[in-house]
Amino acid sequence: MKRFLIVCIALISFGAQAQKWGPTEADSIRCFENYNNFGSLCNSKEYLQAYEPWLMVYTTCPQASEVVYKFAPKIFDAKIKAETDPAKKQALIDALMGMYDDWNRYYPGNEAKILGQKANDYYDYHPKDSYKAFTMFNAALAVNPGDIQPLYLNNYFNAAIALYKVDTLDSEGLLNAYGAVGEAIEMQTDNWNREISTLTEKDTLGTISAREKRVLDIDKRLLEQSNKLIGNIERGLAPLLTCDRLGLIYNQDNFDKHAGDAAWLRRAEKMLSKERTDTAGTSDCTDNPIYYQVAQSLYDLEPSAQAARSMGVLSIKNEKYDDALKYFTDAIAQEADPLKKSRDYLRLAAIHLKLGNLAAAKGDCSNAIRANENSGEAYLMWANVYASAAGSCGNNVFEKNAVYWAAIDKANRAKSVDPSIAGRADKTIAKLRAGIPDKSISFQFGYKEGDRYSIGCWINETVTVRF
């Protein structure tokens, strides 16, 4: 009986293997040989020579291995570039498009990623057919925006701009394409920022592995590329991103049409709340009359971190600070991206500072830095919190003004972790220095240059006396 079972298992195993490689045993053997052949050629980057053996495996044994599809784009690219006959070249491009469909059919699970690659290849081979490429990119984004590579997103937006220039896409359509890119990048950067935060901590502690170190370097590079992509797009869109222009799109009529459309509300909220920096400082478009309705509707539909954050911004504008504290706390509880969480803690710190809750503001700054150790903004805020304690911490003029040294320390720390804000930090330091105790007063209380002094109250910092 045992021998009979072993024979049956062997036959079943052989049958499964034969089915995997081809309809017949002879096909299976041929596929196996050609599979090894094209694999070896691809490993040597001889993609053109790999085409014939690859084609035999693909047409005869399409489910042999996913490797057949992973190598296919490079093999087709070499073959297409080598072909001089326009009709044959187009036939190869059509075959490449069909290959992507087969890839998704036989190996499901990465549909968005594969559809994005298919759309990108179509755009590369048909640069004048922006409409079809744009439609194909949208199909990929509809499946999972987070799986579309930054390079593909760049070409997607290039296709959108081309359609906008010939009036196939209107301003709202272009902004929607920008919103789609932004959402896709946001999903990816959320993941990268979380991973970077975790791996950076490991790197600091010396517990990071070689593989994790490579992942950290890749994540940082991808994050930089994505930020550059968004920056380039925004510069090109600047004429359309003015509040007046956005007001023509995000108005009461459009809101009434999309009040129950979470995707439209998310994009409207992001466009209107997006900060813009110019000679007048930082501003946004939240004064648009429908912003409150957008934010409230979005929060009601899906009380996400972003929706809570929007309600917090509105509450500050309406001077409802208790509500703002509640909303930003809600946003922090739901937020996964440590950089966004850090900015929300800074918003809490600003509110607590305004309300005079300095100890709470200090805690917010500390939490902001815990979430993002390179936040110069958090250290600058911390400096302002300490400066606001002048006159209230201590029993005499020396002690009450010693807080300025602690504030200067935080401002110096701000520019050391974020050199981009060095100019602002230096201006802050210049103002703070005007408040430190002078030499004669310090001497009267027994302190000279270089001495250490411990500030009490809720500050609990030790500073160096310096003039």
State whether 122 and 190 are in the same domain.
Answer: yes
Task: Please tell me whether residues 82 and 118 are part of one structural domain.
Answer: no
Q: Residue 388 falls within a domain, yes or no?
A: no
Domain co-membership, 154 together with 187: yes
- b/e code 398-421 from CB counts within 10 Å (16+ = b): bbbbbbbbbbbbbbebbbebbeeb
118, 228: one domain: yes
Tens of pLDDT, residue by residue over 288-339, are 889 989 999 999 998 999 899 989 998 998 999 999 999 999 999 999 889 9
End of a domain among 61, 80, 107? Answer: 107
Whether the pLDDT of residue 428 is over 50: the answer is yes
The per-residue DSSP string of 65-125 comes to -THHHHHHHHHHHHHHHH---HHHHHHHHHHHHHHHHHHHHHS-S-HHHHHHHHHHHHHHH
For residues 310 and 140, which has the higher predicted lDDT (pLDDT)? 140
Last residue of a domain, one of 373, 390, 420: 373
Give tens-digit pLDDT for 216-267: 999 999 888 888 888 888 888 888 888 888 999 999 999 999 999 998 999 8
Judge whether 296 lies within some domain: no
Q: What is the number of domains present in the chain?
A: 4
Residues 142, 57: one domain? no
User: Chain-centre distance of CA 308, in angstroms?
Assistant: 19
pLDDT at 278 over 90: no
In this prediction, residues 363-382 reach a mean pLDDT of 96
At residue 281 the predicted structure's pLDDT band, cuts being 50, 70 and 90, is low
11-23 pLDDT, tens digit each: 233 334 434 577 8
Q: Both 146 and 33 in a single domain?
A: no
Q: What is the CATH number of the domain that holds 363?
A: 1.25.40.10
Task: Report the pLDDT averaged over residues 101-110.
Answer: 96
Q: How far apart are CA 366 and CA 427, in angstroms?
A: 22
Residue 240: the pLDDT is 83
Q: What's the start-to-end Cα distance of the chain, in Å?
A: 96
> 47-76 pLDDT, tens per residue?
999 999 999 999 999 999 999 999 999 999
| Residue 163 to residue 169: CA distance in whole angstroms | 5
Q: Is residue 378 part of a domain?
A: no
Question: Do both 113 and 211 map to the same domain?
Answer: yes
Do 403 and 433 lie in a common domain?
Answer: yes
The answer to whether residue 347 is domain-embedded is yes
Structural domain includes residue 277: no
Q: What is the mean pLDDT of residues 165-179?
A: 92
Q: Is the pLDDT of residue 144 over 70?
A: yes
Nearest to 179, CA basis, from 141, 206, 210, 207: 141
- For residues 79 and 116, state if they share a domain: no
Closest C-alpha to 111, from 74, 76, 148 = 148
CATH code, domain carrying 169? 1.25.40
Question: In the prediction, which pLDDT does 31 show?
Answer: 93
* Residue range 76-97: mean pLDDT, rounded: 96
Of 107, 137, 167, the position where a domain reaches its end is: 107
Domain region containing 368:
303-373
- Residues 425, 338: one domain? no
Q: Is residue 412 assigned to a domain?
A: yes
Strands 452-455 and 281-283: unpaired
Indicate the average pLDDT of the chain: 90
Asked whether residue 293 is domain-assigned, the answer is no
Query: pLDDT digits over 383-410, tens only?
Result: 999 999 999 988 899 999 999 999 999 9
Q: What is the mean pLDDT of residues 207-218?
A: 92
The pLDDT of residue 228 is 87
Residue 262 in any domain: the answer is no
Residues 171 and 235 in one domain: yes
CA 258 – CA 423 distance, rounded (Å)? 44
Tell whether 2 and 101 lie within a shared domain. Answer: yes
Instruction: Return the SS3 of 251.
Output: coil
| 4 or 29, higher pLDDT | 29
